[in-house]
Chain A
Amino acid sequence: MSATAVQPEAMPDRQESQEVKPLIPTPERLSELLEMDINEVRRMYQSATERGQLVDQIMAEQETLSEHHSNIYRDEMEELIRVGGEQLASNPEASLFELEQALTEVQQTLAAKRDFLTETSPGDIPEGAEEKAALLERVKESEVASKTEKEKSLWRKAWDAVTWLPRKHPIITTLLALAGAAWGIYLLWDYLAEVIVVPNPMEGAGEVADTVVAPTGGAVEGIPQGEIALPNSELPTPGPQDYFNPGGNTPSDIFASPTQPPPPPVTGNIPTGNVPTGTPPVDLPLAPSPQGPPPPVPGRNPTDFFRRGPL
């Protein structure tokens, strides 16, 4: 982690009470909570068809469990048990510590996402989405929720203003690349790798399996090899001189070849079993420096800025 300074409004809730903590649903913990045999729990945990029953049993105890745990929500339990189950299925020797580490990372991510979405766009979850009722319920509970119509209106305006950014604005391009990456369109990872330091899965499917949790936003598909011109086949690799070329920041440049050709693309589904475990986190440097940014270079635009290297 990570927080280096916290303003008063951002103090974590969990510090207010040592009692209420997130539930990290390892088989051992579930066995204890649900008073079930550990081997039975492990079997159900690793079965895609039986995990739902474990979630049902947790939710049946929601009221009681919520007295001690802050995350007893069906969708969150489903995700955590899915990730944990897939991790165990692919690596039965994973230690309890490794599993807890992986699930904690997922739990924190889901909690942060819940807070952010409930603050910024709860009313925009499409009708019929299974999460809607749960999300809206959380909005009522959440202290970070938009409390007034005025605040909701503020967010509507803010999202509108984002769409006013030029189509080729680096933020827009990065958002689209993120979407592509989430869909498993590996070529777009090259751009992300330049911008926000995300290693390209094509450079090692094994590494991806070790470090990337299975996407939940749709099928994960590789692009058939023949349909994409691989690096060095079409476009020149940008050199440092390109970073300062105001005319050279078209999307073509942005998506130009990485510095070395990747191995053949992985097609089909990414192995979903492993979640981040032993991979040491690579900290990103803080963006703003106390001394402020370097002086602007005449003629550079935001795209130039992004193309200088990792953020």
Chain B
Amino acid sequence: MMTELHLTATEQELFITLPKALREGWTVQKEVQQFKDTNKHLRTRVSFIKIRDPKLHVFKEQIEKAKGQKEIAKIVGEFDLKGVHQADLAELFFALGPKPLFQSIETMLRQAKTDEEIESIAALSLIRNALLRSFIRNYV
């Protein structure tokens, strides 16, 4: 069960402004890890993405057959990640890196209104925490 949020100091300030009912049951851990990503790292990570889930391969085929940007946008906008293999999600998040998660978590904290949204924030913060740890350990 997820009960922890890994939040930066700024994010913690946002969290405490949320209604008490939303904050109940969560323990906040301070996220102090930082990592400065580079284009080179990002490009290399993207080049090593391995996708296995058939659902994502169907998505790929749909994109390839799409006629025009509107159709591509429609396919992307309608794609549901539910049921996609967790290992593939991990692959994609690894390629993404932690940086976009900082902004996304902060934005989501400003707008959170439901328990489910807090759980998604907790999940993203947990993923960011693991990404930062693995990047700092290895990109030296």
The chain A residues found within 8 Å of chain B, CB to CB, are: 1-7, 9-10, 12-14, 79, 105-106, 108-113, 115-117, 119-121, 124-126, 129, 144, 153-165, 167-168, 170-183, 185, 187-188, 195-199, 211-218, 221, 223, 227-229, 234-235, 250-257, 275-276, 279, 281-284, 286-288, 292-293, 296, 301-302, 305-306, 311
> With A185-B63, A250-B73 known to touch, is A126 a contact of B87 (CB < 8 Å)?
yes
Contact A167–B104 (Cβ < 8 Å): no
Which of B41, B78, B116 interacts with A164 by CB under 8 Å? B116
Contact B69–A255 (Cβ < 8 Å): yes
> With A179-B59, A235-B69, A305-B103 known to touch, is A161 a contact of B46 (CB < 8 Å)?
no
A-B contact pairs, 5 of them (CB 8 A): A182-B46, A198-B43, A212-B43, A228-B69, A287-B102
In the bound complex, what is the Cα–Cα distance between A251 and B86 (angstroms)? 24
Measured between beta carbons, the chain A residues less than 8 angstroms from B49 are 178-179, 182, 215-217
How many B residues touch the partner, as a band? 35 or more
Contact B73–A171 (Cβ < 8 Å): no
B contact face: mostly helix, strand, loop, or mixed: helix
Contact B38–A284 (Cβ < 8 Å): yes
**Which B residue's beta carbon lies closest to that of A191?**
B76
In the bound complex, what is the Cα–Cα distance between A278 and B68 (angstroms)? 36
> With A120-B130, A196-B99, A212-B43 known to touch, is A3 a contact of B106 (CB < 8 Å)?
no
Measured between beta carbons, the chain A residues less than 8 angstroms from B84 are 163
Contact B43–A234 (Cβ < 8 Å): no
Measured between beta carbons, the chain A residues less than 8 angstroms from B135 are 2-3, 112
In the bound complex, what is the Cα–Cα distance between A5 and B35 (angstroms)? 8
Contact A279–B40 (Cβ < 8 Å): yes
Contact A183–B60 (Cβ < 8 Å): yes
**Which A residue's beta carbon lies closest to that of B97?**
A196
Which of B41, B77, B78, B107 interacts with A302 by CB under 8 Å? B107
